[in-house]
Amino acid sequence: MNTRVIGIRSIFAKLIKAIKWLLISLVVLLLMAFVLESYLKHEDLQKFPPPGKLFQVNGHKMHIWCEGSGNPTIVLDAGASMFSTGWRWVMPELSQATKVCAFDRSGLGWSETGAAPYDGITAAEELHQLLEKANVKKPFIYVGHSLGGNLGQIYYQHYPSDLKALVMVEAADPAMLINDLGEMKDEKIQRGKQITDCGVRCFMTSFVSSIGVIRITMAQLEIVNNPLFNAQALAEYKARTNRLENLHFLAQRGKYLTEIMFQNLDGNGFGDLPLATIYSENRGELLGVFENEEEMFESRKEDLVAWQKTLDSSTHSLGFTEIRDANHLSMVMHQEPASKVSERILEVFQTVAR
């Protein structure tokens, strides 16, 4: 046989053998990563039990954490991917004056995922039932940060007599957000589009989480590991967000964001409900969404116009409060600006409790 052919066959055989061992090594590494991550997830469950209580709502368990005593109760609703732990700087200050409760929407924190749809109306219905199960007196003061502020507005549409006041901590302008999402997709957002299951996205999320990629990524992200965050809140956020149930919910919930904004726009005003808006001085610096200060200033003017329109839809507007030296996240997650947010919430409390 030709020496050259024998040499090629020998090289090919060695290459096949090398690929085989590489694949075996990869499988072993993946199995080791899977076993280690499974152990760490189990440890997270043991280290971070729910600070509050779980109640059965619509066939699944929901978490609510209450401190203090008094009336009216203040109910705290966190931003899009955050949950009750995000209020750890705020709750101690509010609970000195009255009863305060932070809850986890379905699929977040210590709450189980309920059945679809994951829209604003479902969130309102579930919160209404959760508060009844937890014996939270009504009417209460609803405080919502970011998406929580939009959900608070939807809650009022369906349960107006439940609310004593509504405090919106830098809620999104629904019309502006719908427009921005359309520009990102280079299409006009149409209401009523069928929402499909997350499919491949959920499968890939499960895979990367099961081998520790999500845990490693979260450990490296500067936005998640800010030293000014409450240490307990940060640890709980990492542990509970890395659950497969939570990750699947977030992958699916994003598809309902535009519908939540449309539902927000369905509102017909707030009657004489006391309304207050709290916003941060540097809202856009968090994600670097503005190219320069002028662009950020123009966006802020648009925000103020939209928020003023919302405040004007009530005959009892309590106006704006700006939190200096803070951005969209730090205003509740850093102690100093969170303390200023607490002060303003307590001012609203004192106004409506008279």
pLDDT in the model for residue 285: 59
Which pLDDT belongs to residue 1?
52
DSSP state of 160: G
- What order of strands is seen across the sheet that includes strand 140-145? 53-57, 60-67, 100-103, 74-77, 140-145, 163-169, 275-280, 317-323
Average pLDDT over residues 66-83: 95
Hey, what are 167's tokens? 């405090």
What mean pLDDT value characterizes the chain? 86
Instruction: Count how many domains the chain has.
Output: 2
- Please report, for the domain that includes residue 219, its CATH number: 3.40.50.1820
Higher pLDDT, 213 or 97: 97
Q: What is the mean pLDDT of residues 70-94?
A: 95
The pLDDT of residue 287 is above 80: no
Q: Is 213 exposed, middle or buried (0-12, 13-18, 19+ CB in 10 A)?
A: middle
Pair (64, 43) in one structural domain: no
Q: How confident is the model at residue 195 (pLDDT cuts 50, 70, 90)?
A: low
Quick: pLDDT tens for 132-149: 999 999 999 999 999 999
pLDDT tens, residue by residue, 83-104: 999 999 999 999 999 999 999 9
Higher pLDDT pick, 294 / 78: 78
pLDDT band at 282 (very low <50, low <70, confident <90, very high): confident
Closest by Cα among 264, 250, 302 to 118: 250
Q: Are residues 104 and 43 both part of a single domain?
A: no
Same domain, 34 and 117: no
Return the percentage of the chain with pLDDT > 90, whole number.
49
pLDDT at 336: 95
Worst-scoring range by mean pLDDT, 28-32, 53-57, 90-94? 28-32
Say whether both 75 and 200 belong to one domain: yes
Contact (Cβ atoms closer than 8 angstroms) between residue 215 and residue 244 = no
Range of the domain at 290: 53-353
Answer with the one of 47, 63, 78 that is the final residue of a domain: 47
Whole-angstrom distance, CA of residue 243 vs CA of residue 261: 27
Q: Which of 10, 30, 47 is the last residue of a domain?
A: 47
User: Does 93 lie in the same domain as 7?
Assistant: no
211 lies in the same domain as 63: yes
Domain identity same for 145 and 63: yes
Both 30 and 161 in one domain: the answer is no
Instruction: Looking at the structure, tell me whether residues 10 and 149 fall in a common domain.
Output: no
Per-residue model confidence (pLDDT) at position 85: 95
* Mean pLDDT for the stretch of residues 323-346: 94
- Spatial neighbors of 160 by CB under 8 A, at least 6 apart, are 271, 273
Q: Is 3 in the same domain as 100? A: no
Q: What is the pTM of this model?
A: 0.88
309 and 163 share a domain? yes
Q: What is the DSSP string of 80-129?
A: TT--GGGGTTTHHHHTTTS-EEEE--TTSTTPPP-PSP-SHHHHHHHHHH
Which range (23-32, 195-204, 238-247) has the least confidence? 195-204
Do 263 and 341 fall into the same domain? yes
Task: List CB contacts of 252: < 8 A, sequence separation 6 or more.
Answer: 116, 118, 197, 198, 202
Residue type, 64: I
